[in-house]
């Protein structure tokens, strides 16, 4: 028993649950089971509301959305709330888009729960870095053209970027999260580091959803193509030869309507 808790008080538990890339049908069976047992669900802004149909009847739903450029719930507040609820004996599901451990701050939250002595488990979700390119026919790896895939964030706490020259030398597919608002700077930095201007590239907004929108172009024209198509967040950038596998727009529209 935790000596800081009143006599007879049993700590609850925190689940870090991945909701997948958007499409509710891509939710895992384990995520459905956990949502059906949680007393409180702390839900991120990018989670499709239809997923909450799996929550236990009577569960408390708390929106703690975080989206770049918009007013967000502070991360410190979310973590304190998770600790407070669990110490009161609640089972807490922290529901996040994609996978909690892929640019989802799940690692930070797991560390906070460990320091507080609260049981915490992760329910992995399908990350958008794999599912969203697949939704338009792009395999992030391919035996002929891509030896691997590298996930990158386009938004960092200190504003620094990755070693683009090293990434170019690595020859992997690049999947960039949270890069839609900095795409011009990102593309210019990549070309300056040695990436060919005509490297295939694409941007995908609202991937796996009915509102999915895509542009397929080159690295040099990526920023202009996104602006012309009026794409925005949430979106994903993919750079590499595998982009040549993207399905034609007409075919994608028919599949989304099916």
Say if residues 163 and 140 touch (Cβ distance below 8 Å).
no
How far apart are alpha carbons 98 and 3 in whole angstroms?
36
- What would the mean pLDDT of 146-174 be, rounded to a whole number? 90
How far apart are alpha carbons 149 and 237 in whole angstroms?
13
| Confidence band, pLDDT 50/70/90 cuts, at residue 6 | very low
- What would the mean pLDDT of 194-198 be, rounded to a whole number? 97
Global pTM value? 0.88
**Is residue 80 annotated as a catalytic residue, yes or no?**
no
Range with the poorest average pLDDT among 16-30, 33-47, 146-160, 189-203: 146-160
Same domain? For 114 and 137 the reply is no
The encoded tokens of residue 23 equal 């499409």
Confidence at residue 72, expressed as pLDDT on a 0 to 100 scale: 73
Say if residues 168 and 208 touch (Cβ distance below 8 Å).
no
Confidence at residue 174, expressed as pLDDT on a 0 to 100 scale: 98
Say if residues 239 and 211 touch (Cβ distance below 8 Å).
no
**Is residue 44 annotated as a catalytic residue, yes or no?**
yes
Residues 186/189/190/195 CA torsion (nearest 10 deg): 150
Please report the sign of the dihedral spanned by the C-alpha atoms of residue 79, residue 96, residue 64, residue 60: negative
**6 domain-assigned:** no
DSSP state of 89: T
Range with the poorest average pLDDT among 4-18, 96-110, 151-165, 220-234: 4-18
Range with the poorest average pLDDT among 4-8, 37-41, 121-125, 216-220: 4-8
The encoded tokens of residue 106 equal 């799940």
Catalytic choice (48, 66, 180, 190): 66
Give the count of domains, the chain.
Answer: 2
The encoded tokens of residue 162 equal 């990755």
How far apart are alpha carbons 215 and 208 in whole angstroms?
15
How far apart are alpha carbons 254 and 251 in whole angstroms?
5
Same domain? For 138 and 251 the reply is yes
Q: Domain range holding 34? A: 13-123
**Tens digit of each residue's pLDDT (9 = 90 or more) over 213-254:** 999 999 999 999 999 999 998 999 999 999 999 988 655 555
Q: What percentage of the chain has pLDDT greater than the value 70?
A: 90
Q: What is the CATH number of the domain that holds 253?
A: 3.30.950.10
**Is residue 66 annotated as a catalytic residue, yes or no?**
yes
- What would the mean pLDDT of 167-171 be, rounded to a whole number? 95
Catalytic choice (44, 99, 180, 190): 44
- What would the mean pLDDT of 121-125 be, rounded to a whole number? 98
Same domain? For 138 and 112 the reply is no
Domain edge (last residue) among 104, 123, 142: 123
Catalytic choice (11, 39, 96, 178): 178
Confidence at residue 5, expressed as pLDDT on a 0 to 100 scale: 43
Alpha helices in 62-118 (DSSP H): 75-87, 106-116
Same domain? For 98 and 163 the reply is no
To the nearest whole number, what is the mean pLDDT of the chain?
90
| Confidence band, pLDDT 50/70/90 cuts, at residue 83 | very high
Question: Within 13 Å of residue 183, how many CA atoms lie on the same side as its CB?
Answer: 27
Domain edge (last residue) among 123, 144, 168: 123
Element housing 16 (H / E): strand 13-18
Please report the sign of the dihedral spanned by the C-alpha atoms of residue 179, residue 183, residue 189, residue 194: positive
In 10 A of CB 167, how many CB atoms?
18
DSSP string computed for 195-225:
--TT-EEEEEESTTSTT-EEEEEETTTHHHH
**Tens digit of each residue's pLDDT (9 = 90 or more) over 32-80:** 999 999 999 999 988 999 999 999 999 999 999 765 545 678 999 999 9
Confidence at residue 107, expressed as pLDDT on a 0 to 100 scale: 95
Range with the poorest average pLDDT among 4-18, 99-113, 213-227: 4-18
Q: What is the CATH number of the domain that holds 34?
A: 3.40.1010.10
Confidence at residue 256, expressed as pLDDT on a 0 to 100 scale: 55
Domain edge (last residue) among 103, 123, 143: 123
């Amino acid at each position: 028993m935790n000596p800081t808790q009143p006599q007879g008080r049993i700590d609850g538990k925190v689940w870090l649950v991945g909701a997948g890339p958007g499409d509710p049908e891509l939710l895992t069976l384990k995520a459905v089971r956990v949502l059906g047992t949680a007393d409180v669900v702390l839900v991120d802004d990018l989670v499709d509301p239809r997923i909450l149909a799996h929550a236990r009847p009577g569960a408390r739903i708390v929106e703690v959305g975080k989206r770049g450029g918009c007013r967000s719930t502070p991360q410190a507040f979310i973590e304190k709330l998770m600790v407070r609820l669990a110490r009161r004996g609640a089972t807490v599901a922290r529901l996040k888009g994609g996978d909690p451990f892929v640019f989802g701050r799940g690692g930070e939250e797991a560390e906070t729960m460990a320091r507080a002595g609260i049981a915490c488990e992760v329910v992995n979700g399908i990350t958008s870095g794999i599912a969203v390119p697949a939704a338009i026919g792009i395999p992030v790896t391919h035996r002929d053209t891509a030896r691997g895939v590298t996930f990158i964030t386009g938004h960092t706490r200190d504003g620094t970027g990755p070693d683009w020259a090293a990434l170019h030398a690595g020859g992997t597919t690049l999947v960039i999260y949270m890069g839609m608002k900095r795409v011009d700077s990102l593309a210019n930095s990549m070309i300056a580091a040695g990436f060919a201007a005509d490297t295939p590239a694409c941007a995908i907004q609202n991937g796996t959803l009915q509102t999915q929108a895509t542009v397929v172009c080159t690295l040099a024209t990526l920023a202009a193509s996104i602006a012309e198509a009026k794409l925005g967040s949430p979106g994903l950038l993919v750079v590499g030869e595998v982009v040549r596998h993207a399905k034609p727009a007409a075919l994608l529209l028919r599949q989304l309507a099916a």
